[in-house]
Structure 1
């Protein structure tokens, strides 16, 4: 390569003016084209040991650029800012560079352009803003020059694509942990209005949805580090902190637009997968952050708009691959909702809705309240409860049991006839319908492991779980039928429960692939003799002790402990780090040759703050030191929207040389692959990796899912198996302590009547 007017060879940066027809010869020092804002292009050999500031300063001197060097910066051909961390990589890749305004200066100029409001250049200015606003230095200049106020004004006054660009810029700004604490309730309501309008464009709804989700998660309780103070209403808001919003503030604005929640649910059926995904993520954030004061109202609204049915429909759509993680998150959130309902006591004095549900049940039974032979009230015992203390009767199943019984009554127009038919029998032969309903709630809770809030080990879709009330109605009717066909009496209640438990296991097996009509057939057509024969065989293999209520409660406690233990183990694996193969994305074009990539390996490690994944790409594996010194690049955990699995293929000629990696067909997705999908659709995947083995794949996919604020679900059968195995081992150890002492475990405990007054004390046991 000719070297016209170049600097002395020892200079760390040499440049030549534009040349014609000259190309760099292979083997020489990498040369980059650098273009100035005036359109002048030079070829420069840059010393990779220099800082970016030194490179910019020398370019300004050599090219006689006016102004201070600190007012300039370098960007590559994709507009990415050149930093000290990526300078070496861009030099080696011989990327074309541009000498442009510094991010801080550019931020101030963009803020000034927004203030002028030139409609001819507005969209281009906003497009530039949404691209650069994620950079801290640019954002500082933009924020300090009152740019956020201008951007908010544009969001209030714009429509169409201009509004879409402005909202996207705000969405990107909100990835930073500063700069947007000035957003007020009026702004939130504006976003709510935009989102609730059926005429809003999809490219407007996407960022608007993401903004609401971010505001919901910006709760004071989520603020990093120690809080400045606290109050009876929760953590205090630190002055200037972005963690000043949360569910309550957002939901107050959402309530002003009655159609918003219904619109969000309807958008789950959108043909645009990204729109459905954004809506699903917003719903998950609302579910996981709902405040105690508004929780019941919010859940009732979601139920009213048939949210569960919308998600079940989503499970069967062809675009479900992109939504798998969101749906599993939703299932985990619904498990929390179900557990909370089950553990919330029925309170007729404090909750008018509880009294209304009970009145509905009683009125549709068409029974008349009477007195028994002792002159006591005879009302709820007619429906099959043991006592007239209705709040006590729902102690074990809570509000969930009450809602299930009400839905059961709603679904059966002949409910009153069923009740009268039982009352026409001798007392000892009557099926206790209400008590049976509560027991079915317990059986379904056991089947779906509704043991504790926030712990879900399901790795597949559970459409039947999302149809809990419908399954409950089927199983309760099955209970009543088994009672009649077996000729059961009062003392046979536990025996019939065992029959129903056996049938629940059979009917709800493989629910992710079974059709609903098959489930119905199992409950409606299966004969008593067949169920009894199967259940007797099961009894030969099982211990009746495990079905007792105290043992169920013990299992729930151990399950929670086991889940947390496995979760911490998975996160520890991330903190230690691991080597992966850098995969080809699923939509990557087929390579024209089979040459091995120059750097096919990547070591990834989670930092101690659990906010970033630090990594390094390499041609070969090498011993990585502890800490982050060997890992120059990083990915922000908050920027990951989903951990997609089985999405990418291995590069050519990498895996076949390593016995520790499974063989796979080139360009066929590897079962050990996973991708970190960006919250920004245009960025696609932030990383595509292939794990060396099944164990490492489970460690990382589940560990990353458990780190996400709106996650918490388990993606691999291996992790789910560990949790279940630890639970069973722990349970058996605990039971050995009891059985060794020959302690009799009752099927249930009945609390005696409360003391008539407070004139008592607890004696000390000696």
Structure 2
């Protein structure tokens, strides 16, 4: 400011020579951002001359003049010179001007005008917001189309300015237009492709340069969704009634006759057949508002054939087994609404600053998939229908299926990277494995109660693990009671010394059968030349070891999980059978269990080897090693046994959690057990079974 003679600068702005005016306005655009300079410039009557340049200049002179005017408006000065002529000039330039520097500045002027609040300092006759632009847009109807096309510009500053103007127009429309007018304006922008354009910007590499206006557009999207939800459904309004009627009409097969509409109107289940709870569906939109009607209507109109077929399929089922399509649609709307935290409103200035400062925050702050709300709703509703069928649900299970959809949305949409395409998300929602979803549900349920009950839940888990250990101990000992065959000596198919190469071709020449006595005090065994098909009785086993003489059981059995696929994939059902080993399995002489002890319980001489066993399979080794250890009141050490203990304990905990309602979380934290009404077993008998991971348990 000190180096510029403002009166002289103002005089040069009105010069007849274009070069003089151009140099003067070039200097002006850099200096006018200083409020003190701007005040002096206005006092020197510089504004009328600047306005003349914006209305009549061309080329770079025009670009500099528009930039100077926009910066003056940003300082909240010069509003008295904002006229219809200036607005029409800026709109005209947006539509007709090919030069990027002029376009940028013209858009900046319009952003300031649309964003300017109507307050007491404004001229009473001045109109701001989108209403100020409407007369000019009427003259240049291509304005919005050209504005949206700028979002594809390679010039990032022009792109940012255009999106900022679009944001200002949307905010003004949503804030000041009537309930019926602003949705029409938003629909027009959507038809011009604004959603697709911003979606690509949000996923692109230029996000750093465009972060501010893109974040505002995302917040405005939430604002619009919130506004649509706040619109209460009123069947006295023609638009609302028309939308509902289109849903009902689409559910019937139209045979082209004049009686089709009459049949629909006379159907006593007209609304229940499409999935509403009653024949008065208006109140069922209380939670979703008009947003719920929009989502359901959009699904029906874009998938009309699927909808007709689906309604017909459900109509032929028992009422309890039908999937309520309309209710499911509303549930999905609420799932998406809560997932994207629409009610949280816009980020405050500190949050905006944090997002814009760090590129690492972009991945969390920007949600491109939110812009494809309609497609997400359709995919979510299809996922609901798929899960309903997969679970064999009935009407009583509605909330449970809705909860699965909520977890699905969190998994697919919540974990989605910023660059994830909407088509990828749709495929995941359609194909996500139901069993994985159930596992996640159980994990979340466990975490929920972990937070609510704390040490109470840990105590239950410890008790269940102890019970599981006792159960597995009994199973392992029953394997010993049933007895098993072990190779006792080997012969080799090749002559010469035994080597690593020919060990695997060894075949048993003698067999040893070992069995625990019924009183669990003695281990009986005997050797045979060949393995028999039937198991032997204790009377046929002429040798025995008294377990009180056993001092230790050692083995080279691995305590880590087996590497063999056949061993590691054995089912729980198979492992819990008394005889789980395969008698035809290939022999393995490298695995050995050695029982040490004393010849007599009364002697204290040095311990000796009482018996050696060579299990043929990893499963058999685990059963006998841990069975012997647990028989001696020692802890099991193999991975197979410990996995079973954890598995059974975990299932026990999940079964208990599934039998606890969320409103029982208060118990143990001040809640009263007397307040909980326990279910009755009246009319039930004791014959039942349930399936856990392939293991059937009956009573």
Shorter-chain TM-score bucket reads: 0.5 to 0.7
CA separation in 1, counterparts of 2:374 and 2:142?
25
Shift of 1:254: 4.1
SS in structure 2 at match of 1:174 = helix
Shift of 1:481: 1.3
Aligned partner of 1:412 among 282, 303, 306: 303
SS in structure 2 at match of 1:349 = coil
Shift of 1:247: 4.3
Match of 1:312 in 2: 199
Q: Is the CA contact 1:178–1:242 (under 8 Å) kept in the aligned structure 2?
A: no
Aligned partner of 1:525 among 431, 437, 440: 431
Aligned partner of 2:443 among 537, 545, 554: 537
SS in structure 1 at match of 2:171 = helix
SS in structure 1 at match of 2:343 = coil
Please tell me whether Structure 1 or Structure 2 has the larger radius of gyration of its CA atoms: 2
Deviates more, 1:135-144 or 1:440-449: 135-144
Query: Tell me, which stretches of 5 or more residues in structure 2 are unaligned?
Result: 254-259, 352-361, 453-661, 677-699
The answer to which structure has the higher helix fraction is 2
Q: Is the CA contact 1:338–1:450 (under 8 Å) kept in the aligned structure 2?
A: yes
Q: Is the CA contact 1:181–1:242 (under 8 Å) kept in the aligned structure 2?
A: no
Once the two structures are superposed, the pairs formed by residues 296-695 of structure 1 within 5 Å of their partners are 296-350=183-237, 352-366=238-252, 377-414=268-305, 415-455=307-347, 459-511=364-416, 512-542=418-448
CA separation in 1, counterparts of 2:236 and 2:450?
39
Q: Can you list the C-alpha shifts for 1:149-175, whole angstroms capped at 9, x where unaligned?
A: 333233223333232122112112213
Q: Can you list the C-alpha shifts for 1:679-712, whole angstroms capped at 9, x where unaligned?
A: xxxxxxxxxxxxxxxxxxxxxxxxxxxxxxxxxx
Q: Is the CA contact 1:181–1:241 (under 8 Å) kept in the aligned structure 2?
A: no
Deviates more, 1:175-184 or 1:364-373: 364-373
Structure 1 length normalisation: TM-score? Answer: 0.52
CA separation in 2, counterparts of 1:462 and 1:383?
32
Match of 1:169 in 2: 68
- Residues 454/114 of structure 1: CA separation in 2 closer, same or farther (3 Å cut): same
Once the two structures are superposed, the pairs formed by residues 151-300 of structure 1 within 5 Å of their partners are 151-197=50-96, 199-220=97-118, 237-238=120-121, 245-250=128-133, 253-254=136-137, 257-290=140-173, 291-293=175-177, 294-300=181-187
Shift of 1:737: 13
Structure 2 length normalisation: TM-score? Answer: 0.57
Shift of 1:469: 1.0
CA separation in 2, counterparts of 1:510 and 1:518?
13
CA separation in 1, counterparts of 2:134 and 2:200?
26
Query: Tell me, which stretches of 5 or more residues in structure 1 are unaligned?
Result: 1-80, 83-97, 222-236, 547-731, 746-766
Match of 2:546 in 1: none
- Residues 413/447 of structure 1: CA separation in 2 closer, same or farther (3 Å cut): same
- What is the RMSD of the two structures over their aligned residues, measured on CA atoms? 3.5
SS in structure 1 at match of 2:81 = coil
CA separation in 2, counterparts of 1:283 and 1:450?
21
Q: Is the CA contact 1:280–1:326 (under 8 Å) kept in the aligned structure 2?
A: yes
Q: Can you list the C-alpha shifts for 1:511-549, whole angstroms capped at 9, x where unaligned?
A: 224344442332222343443343233323336999xxx
Deviates more, 1:154-163 or 1:393-402: 154-163
- Residues 520/175 of structure 1: CA separation in 2 closer, same or farther (3 Å cut): closer
- Residues 460/398 of structure 1: CA separation in 2 closer, same or farther (3 Å cut): same
Shift of 1:471: 0.9
- Residues 515/372 of structure 1: CA separation in 2 closer, same or farther (3 Å cut): closer
Shift of 1:242: 12
Q: Is the CA contact 2:372–2:422 (under 8 Å) kept in the aligned structure 1?
A: no
CA separation in 2, counterparts of 1:516 and 1:246?
34
Shift of 1:136: 4.1
Q: Is the CA contact 1:254–1:260 (under 8 Å) kept in the aligned structure 2?
A: yes
Once the two structures are superposed, the pairs formed by residues 98-109 of structure 1 within 5 Å of their partners are 101=5, 106=6, 108-109=7-8
